Amino acid sequence: MNNRFPDHFLWGAAASGPQLEGAGSKYGKGKTVWDYWFETEPEKFYQQIGPETTSSFYSRYKEDILLMKDIGFNSFRTSISWARLLPDGTTINQEAVTFYRDVFSRLRENGIKPIVNLYHFDMPYRLHKKGGWENRETVEEFYRYAKAAFQTFGDLVNTWVTFNEPIVPVEMGYLNDKHLPAVYDLERAARAAYFTLLAHGKAVSAFRELANNGEIGIILNLTPSYPKSDLAEDREAAKWADILFNRSFLDPVVFGKYPVEMTEFLAKETIDVPYTDKELVLLMNNTVDFLGVNYYQPRRVQAGDKETGAGLDKYFKPYHWPKAKINPHRGWEIYEKGLYDIALNIRDNYRNIPWYVAENGIGVEGEEAFLDEHGEVQDDYRIHFMADHLRWLQKGMAEGANCFGYHVWTFLDNWSWLNEYKNRYGLLRLDLATQTRTKKKSAQWFKQVAETNQLPAKW
């Protein structure tokens, strides 16, 4: 196996509107759930930095796109803000149209393929008040929004994504307190997950109805589940973790149907998901053209407590592998082989559907400690992280995995929900006081990889 990647391989980064754009209350944008949460409970946010300014892409996108070109990008994934494009749900905001059309046009003019996502956790507040993804009305609103986006930007964008990590708002909002509504309720979680999936299917149907050129997919955070041991109860735990956190979305979007074990789970938990036969047919008829895969860390589990455990603890519990390599800043395990395991799983079990690495990166707190005398962050840890994952990706591709690109998270240090700028992920450093962008060492390394389409021998 050599270090070269296939011709036309996509190199770039991922970002999202709410984490990058700023201008949170300007230019006709409506309020999102994150705007509301920061207004009402700023103490929940690590640095008390809200979503108003973030990384000021809205006002600095022209220079940012030139920086992307300068470090070798041939593609860039971002998202449209639902609340910016359709602030009231029906009337298109022309200021948003002008902004996004110029962004997509400039990307194309600079040889950078736009991959555009419709939803990245930024529920319009007006819909949140009505129940968000627990409300079937939100599905119809999302369908109208998707249709408006395809009609408005379809001449500039031919690669679309419906959702980024749809399991995350379900997990963090209904089994945790990191997203609103911040409750622990399995039945509400299942309802929100179903309506999110239905919204995805409706958006795909809109894309096909409009006969748009191009392709449409979804981005899932596929987290391999590894058992503590080879004992049957540990392997059973890994099976359930995989079903609930991977296959609950992966199977429906690729095959158009849920894994049979999901029916078993819902029955065990006496959870009633309000589906209709017509909706299940819609999901069956609107599978994706490709997958985006976000990979940061594995999930290691051990047998659950079937007798006294509550919630998902009955099915599996976390396990901390003693040999794990940990990112001390984020607390996440670094396990590069997981990307190879994902590649073979898609190859063998998901009809080798085309896919790309939509996010892969490392967050580090206190990166100013790695500034050299010239003001450049010497982030060798990020270079090693990318290089090691790319080696395993190449191995999977050499064995037949149908991967067509690699996007790092992220281009520029950006705002990350409740943690804001605690951990930095960018190839470029953002000075919060001045909004100045500065290339890190990893940006130079990424440029070399992207422009030569191969890994340097020394890495």
Q: Which residues are catalytic?
A: 165, 359
Q: Which residues contact 262 (CB under 8 A, 6 or more apart)?
A: 243, 247, 248
How far apart are the C-alpha atoms of 218 and 77, rounded to whole Å?
12
What tokens appear for 205 in the block? 């149907």
Contact (Cβ atoms closer than 8 angstroms) between residue 149 and residue 85: yes
For residue 336, give the 3-state DSSP assignment. Answer: coil
How far apart are the C-alpha atoms of 348 and 339, rounded to whole Å?
14
Q: Which residue(s) pair with 327 in the sheet?
A: 332
For tokens 């796109």, the residue is 65
- Distance from the first to the final alpha carbon of the chain: 15
Name which of 143, 148, 42 is nearest 93 in CA terms: 148
How far apart are the C-alpha atoms of 98 and 12, rounded to whole Å?
24
How far apart are the C-alpha atoms of 361 and 425, rounded to whole Å?
7
Contact (Cβ atoms closer than 8 angstroms) between residue 229 and residue 236: no
What is the DSSP secondary-structure string of 169-228? HHHHHHBSSSSTT--B-HHHHHHHHHHHHHHHHHHHHHHHHTT-SSEEEEEEE---EEES
Length of the chain: 459
Q: Tell me, what amino acid is at 280?
A: L
